[in-house]
Amino acid sequence: MTRNDEALHALILAGGRGARFWPLSRKARPKQCLDLDGQGSPLARTLQRLDGLIPPERIWVVTGRDMEAAVRAELPGLSPEHILVEPSGRNTAPCIAWGTQVIGRGAGDDAVVAVLPADHAIRDAPGFRALLASATDAARQTGAIVTLGIKADRPATGFGYLEQGAEMGEWGGRRFHLVQRFTEKPDRITAEALIATGRQLWNAGIFVYKVGAMEDALRAHLPATAQAMIELGRDPGRIADVWGRTDATSIDFGVMERLRHILTVEADVGWSDMGSWDEVGDQLPALPGGRGRARRIVSVDSEGCVVHALDKAVALVGLRDLVVVDTPDALLVMDRRRAQDLREVLRQLAASGEDGLT
Amino acid sequence: MTRNDEALHALILAGGRGARFWPLSRKARPKQCLDLDGQGSPLARTLQRLDGLIPPERIWVVTGRDMEAAVRAELPGLSPEHILVEPSGRNTAPCIAWGTQVIGRGAGDDAVVAVLPADHAIRDAPGFRALLASATDAARQTGAIVTLGIKADRPATGFGYLEQGAEMGEWGGRRFHLVQRFTEKPDRITAEALIATGRQLWNAGIFVYKVGAMEDALRAHLPATAQAMIELGRDPGRIADVWGRTDATSIDFGVMERLRHILTVEADVGWSDMGSWDEVGDQLPALPGGRGRARRIVSVDSEGCVVHALDKAVALVGLRDLVVVDTPDALLVMDRRRAQDLREVLRQLAASGEDGLT
A129 vs A10: CA distance, rounded Å = 12
How close B156 gets to chain A, by Cα (Å)? Answer: 22
Same domain, residue pair B212 and B327: no
Of B257, B272, B287, the position where a domain reaches its end is B272
Same domain, residue pair B230 and B91: yes
Domain containing residue B202: CATH number: 3.90.550.10
Query: Does residue B12 lie within any of the structural domains?
Result: yes
Same domain, residue pair B86 and B121: yes
Helix (H, G, I), strand (E, B) or coil at A11: strand
Of B298, B319, B349, the CB nearest to A298: B349
CB atoms within 10 A of CB B154: 8
Interface-testing mutation among B298, B322, B334, with chain A (most A C-beta atoms within 10 A): B298
Query: What pLDDT sits at residue A356?
Result: 84
By C-alpha distance, which of B224, B220, B227, B162 is closest to B194? B162
Same domain, residue pair B108 and B225: yes
Return the percentage of chain A with pLDDT > 90, whole number.
89
Of the pLDDT bands very low, low, confident and very high (cuts 50, 70, 90), residue A72 is very high
Query: Does residue A1 lie within any of the structural domains?
Result: no
Query: Does residue B131 lie within any of the structural domains?
Result: yes
Of B312, B331, B332, the CB nearest to A330: B312
Query: What pLDDT sits at residue A2?
Result: 44
Of A301, A333, A357, the CB nearest to B324: A333
Query: What pLDDT sits at residue B1?
Result: 42
B338 interfaces chain A, CB cutoff of 8 Å: yes
Query: Does residue A260 lie within any of the structural domains?
Result: yes
Query: What pLDDT sits at residue A113?
Result: 98
User: Could you tell me whether strands B200-210 and B145-151 are parallel, antiparallel, or unpaired per DSSP bridges?
Assistant: antiparallel
Residues in contact with B208: Cβ distance below 8 Å, sequence separation at least 6, in sequence order: B112, B113, B114, B115, B132, B135, B136, B138, B139, B145, B146, B147, B148
Torsion of CA A11, A177, A149, A135, to 10 degrees: -30
Kindly tell me if the per-residue pLDDT of A3 is higher than 60.
Answer: no
User: For the packed helices B92-107 and B211-221, what is the interaxial angle rounded to 10 degrees?
Assistant: 140
B340 interfaces chain A, CB cutoff of 8 Å: no
B87-116: average pLDDT? 97
Query: Does residue A2 lie within any of the structural domains?
Result: no
Kindly tell me if the per-residue pLDDT of B139 is higher than 70.
Answer: yes
Same domain, residue pair A158 and A250: yes
Of the pLDDT bands very low, low, confident and very high (cuts 50, 70, 90), residue B358 is confident
Same domain, residue pair A176 and A297: no
What is the number of alpha carbons within 13 Å of residue A309 lying toward its C-beta?
31
pTM comes to 0.89
Provide DSSP, B252-277.
Answer: HHHTGGG-S-EEEEE--S-EE---SH
By C-alpha distance, which of B28, B24, B12, B41 is closest to B115? B12
Residues in contact with A80: Cβ distance below 8 Å, sequence separation at least 6, in sequence order: A72
Of A230, A249, A272, the position where a domain reaches its end is A272
Of B296, B311, B326, the CB nearest to A354: B296
Is residue A72 within 8 A of residue A85, CB to CB? The reply is no
Sign of CA dihedral A95, A97, A103, A105: negative
Of B243, B272, B301, the position where a domain reaches its end is B272
Same domain, residue pair B332 and B219: no
Helix (H, G, I), strand (E, B) or coil at B98: helix
The residues that bridge with A84 in the sheet, in sequence order, are: A62
Residue A355 dihedral angles phi and psi, to the nearest 5°: -55, -35
B45 vs B65: CA distance, rounded Å = 21
A21-49: average pLDDT? 94
Same domain, residue pair B212 and B241: yes
Query: Does residue B262 lie within any of the structural domains?
Result: yes
Interface-testing mutation among A25, A300, A354, with chain B (most B C-beta atoms within 10 A): A300
Return the percentage of chain A with pLDDT > 70, whole number.
99
DSSP annotation of A207 reads E
Q: Which residue of B has its CA nearest to A302?
A: B334
Residues in contact with A106: Cβ distance below 8 Å, sequence separation at least 6, in sequence order: A1
- Is B314's CB within 8 Å of A328's CB? no
Residue type, A301: D
Residue A118 dihedral angles phi and psi, to the nearest 5°: -90, -5
CA distances (Å), origin A131, targets A124, A146, A165, A274, B74: 10, 11, 20, 21, 68
Q: Which residues of chain A are within 8 Å of residue B337 when distances are taken between CB atoms?
A: 318
Sign of CA dihedral A341, A206, A29, A37: positive
B44-61: average pLDDT? 97
Query: Does residue B2 lie within any of the structural domains?
Result: no
The rounded mean pLDDT for chain A is 94
Same domain, residue pair B268 and B299: no
Query: What pLDDT sits at residue A307?
Result: 98
B90 vs B277: CA distance, rounded Å = 26
Rg of chain A in Å (alpha carbons): 21
Query: What pLDDT sits at residue B119?
Result: 94
Sequence-ordered strand ranges (E) for B184-235: 200-210
Of the pLDDT bands very low, low, confident and very high (cuts 50, 70, 90), residue A200 is very high
Kindly tell me if the per-residue pLDDT of A99 is higher than 50.
Answer: yes
**Domain enclosing residue B305, as ranges:** 277-357
B349 interfaces chain A, CB cutoff of 8 Å: yes
Of the pLDDT bands very low, low, confident and very high (cuts 50, 70, 90), residue B73 is very high
What is the number of alpha carbons within 13 Å of residue B114 lying toward its C-beta?
27
Same domain, residue pair B101 and B212: yes
Question: Interface pTM (ipTM) of the complex?
Answer: 0.89
Interface-testing mutation among B293, B310, B314, B317, with chain A (most A C-beta atoms within 10 A): B317
DSSP annotation of B54 reads S
Query: Does residue A66 lie within any of the structural domains?
Result: yes
B9 vs B1: CA distance, rounded Å = 12
A24 interfaces chain B, CB cutoff of 8 Å: no
Is residue A263 within 8 A of residue A166, CB to CB? The reply is no
CB atoms within 10 A of CB A4: 11
Q: How many helices (H) and strands (E) does chain B have?
A: 11, 16
CB atoms within 10 A of CB B88: 11
A24 vs A154: CA distance, rounded Å = 28
Question: Which pLDDT tens digit goes with each residue over A178-188?
Answer: 999 999 889 99
Same domain, residue pair A215 and A285: no
Q: Domain count of chain B?
A: 2
DSSP annotation of A269 reads S
Binding-face residues of B in 103-142 toward A, CB within 8 A: none
Q: What share of chain A is helix, strand, coil (3-state, %, to 5)?
A: 35, 30, 35
CA distances (Å), origin B92, targets B95, B145, B190, B249: 5, 16, 26, 7
A101 vs A238: CA distance, rounded Å = 13
Of A318, A329, A341, the CB nearest to B335: A318
Same domain, residue pair A224 and A313: no
Query: What pLDDT sits at residue A4?
Result: 47
Residue A240 dihedral angles phi and psi, to the nearest 5°: -60, -30
